[in-house]
Amino acid sequence: MEAGAVVESLDGRYKIIEKIGIGTFGDVYLADYVSHDLSKTKKVALKEVVRNCYDVEECKKEAKFMKIISGSLTNIHVSKFIDAFNGRITSEGWFSWVFSKLSLKSGNLFISMEYCIGGDFNDVIRNKKESKSKFEGKVIYDYIYQIVDGLAELHRQKIVHRDLKPANILVSWEEAKEVLKIADFGLANLKGHATARSKPEFYGTPLYWAPEQREGRSCGYPVDVYAVGMIFYELCIVPRELSQDIKSIRDKVKKCEEVTLPEEFTEDNGWLNKMLTKNPDDRVTSANLKQEALFSVIMQTVGTIVSQKGSYTINRQLGSGGFGEVYFTEYTPNGSIEIQIMALKKIPIHNNDAGEYQKEYELIRKISESKNQHIIKFIDHFTVEVADEERISESSWSSWFLSFFHWNSSINQNLFIAMEYCPNGNLASKIGGKIHLKNAFSRKTIYNYMYQIADGLEELHQMNISHRDLKPENILIKDNNWLNKMITWDPNNRMTSADVKREACSRIE
């Protein structure tokens, strides 16, 4: 299809923007979707299933799997299904629209899915190869964890992908972080259901095939695990091409010999070979693989900070706050194995800035008393010697500031503040996404946001707190429709926050 072509469905129309990829059974396009009643507009990935494919029923099966997946899970590492329909390609215009309505049942099969702006994972690998650089270990483990997190969910739903490879893993951006999503279920099969293909080796991508796929035997969950092993190996050898090592890998697997990684990853040889073992029954399961991948991610973290209440394992930086950096953290209370996700703010304490830190401390202490759901929750606080962030001793809010600056002005410490984690980033990211996709917020959404901001703002004003830096970057989003950090400004001659709250509330339908 050419740019500008229109695909009509019973529910709406898709205007083609550009071709963005090739799936198992057809081309994939970026398209603008508009419902016929104009109530819904969004950018989607639209796959056109070719009419002369191996089997029309096989083509339709991909839509069936995606519908099953979409209706039964919310895993962020699996691409979201939107719709499957028989559509007719037309040009714009009234006559074309009427004609398409009369002939929809005989049209091609189309599958619409969420659009991921980062392309596919193969592009990420290719860019790394072209720059002649390597992936860091912690980046590789994070990638593998995301892949097996989605895969474990598919297997839990009794779905075998059978064509897992970098080109079938999409890349989205959330909170300025790459999020991988498994896609293209054209070769997927429900475990326990017979497949229509007697020659599975004619399909899929040979580079990532398990031995049983190459031999034309039945394929279960272990073929997906083998593919993950090949992807892991590929990431570890970049910028070298996987095709250069494929014969050696297959020979070693066939002879039940150990496949080895580059020197910097030798400690992961055992893990790799659990995925690449010849006998599919001996391979690690996706569920166990997920746990092992998570452990590897944790072992590659920035470090572990220990307080009197528990330990904080820092995984990655989320952003920068008013006085320091904010990290994604896994918190384990003392005497518990339960892991809680938190945001941990690190504030470096310099001897010349005691007054500013004292001011921030007082604000945090006061705000932490609020029960308003639209103000960020503060959970814990402690200090760490800059020279040793492995162990720390916790002090009370007041005694720390009173003793530290009078005890020795030459010593620097870090103040850590644990806060609730808001997984959907900030309002600035949401606005940026709308600008990128050239979409607008609905009037109802705008009023809803304004009400939530004003609700938190009113609470702060009632506590006589004026932040003076209210902006989208300082408004965090815990859920898709709930804003969590509301901050304020102070000059006269404006509506009060209570007025804004009432006004916004009156406009929410």
Count Cβ atoms below 10 Å from residue 499 Cβ, excluding itself. Answer: 12
Q: To the nearest whole number, what is the mean pLDDT of the chain? A: 77
Higher pLDDT, 344 or 291: 344
Q: Which of 349, 355, 309, 353 is nearest to 333 (CA)?
A: 309
Q: Which of 460, 471, 467, 464 is nearest to 427 (CA)?
A: 471
Confidence class for position 338, pLDDT limits 50, 70, 90: confident
Residue 103: pLDDT over 70: no
What pLDDT is attached to residue 296? 67
Task: Report the CATH superfamily, name and number, of domain 6-114.
Answer: Phosphorylase Kinase; domain 1 (3.30.200.20)
Residue 297: pLDDT over 70: no
- 198-242 pLDDT per residue, tens: 344 445 578 999 999 998 888 899 999 999 999 999 999 999 999
Topology at the third CATH level for domain 301-420: Phosphorylase Kinase; domain 1 (3.30.200)
Task: Report the CATH superfamily, name and number, of domain 121-298.
Answer: Transferase(Phosphotransferase) domain 1 (1.10.510.10)
Q: Specify the residue for token string 């790459």.
A: 178
Helix (H, G, I), strand (E, B) or coil at 244: helix
Q: Name the residue ranges covered by the structural domains of the chain.
A: 6-114, 121-298, 301-420, 427-507
> Which range has the worst mean pLDDT, 54-58, 107-111, 120-124, 398-402?
398-402
Q: Distance (Å, rounded) from C-alpha 473 to C-alpha 492?
A: 24
Q: Which of 388, 464, 368, 477 is nearest to 429 (CA)?
A: 477
Q: Which of 277, 248, 68, 61 is nearest to 157 (CA)?
A: 68
Contacts of 103 (CB under 8 A, 6+ apart): 88
Rounded to two decimals, the pTM is 0.57
CATH 1.10.510.10 fits 427-507, yes or no: yes
Q: Distance (Å, rounded) from C-alpha 32 to C-alpha 46?
A: 9
- 51-74 pLDDT per residue, tens: 555 555 666 666 666 666 666 556
What is the 8-class DSSP label of residue 120?
A: B
Residue 387: pLDDT over 50: no
- Which of 470-474, 483-487, 496-500 is modeled with the greatest confidence? 470-474
Tokens of 189: 């099969």
Residue 398: pLDDT over 50: no
Which helix (H) or strand (E) covers residue 506, if one does? Answer: helix 497-507
Contacts of 499 (CB under 8 A, 6+ apart): none
Across residues 295-321, what is the average pLDDT?
68
Q: How many residues are present in the chain?
A: 509
CA dihedral 288, 290, 293, 297 (to 10 degrees): -130
Confidence class for position 29, pLDDT limits 50, 70, 90: very high
- Asked if residue 197 lies in contact with residue 213, where contact means CB atoms within 8 angstroms, the answer is no
Higher pLDDT, 241 or 48: 241
Do 121-298 and 427-507 fold alike per CATH? yes
Tokens of 59: 């083509």
Exposure pattern of 449-466 as b/e (b: 16+ CB <10 Å)?
A: bbbbbbbbbbbbbeeebe
Residue 44: pLDDT over 60: yes
Question: How far does Cα 195 stand from its chain's mean position?
Answer: 32
According to DSSP, the residues that pair with 305 across neighbouring strands are 312
Higher pLDDT, 27 or 237: 237
What is the 8-class DSSP label of residue 226?
A: H
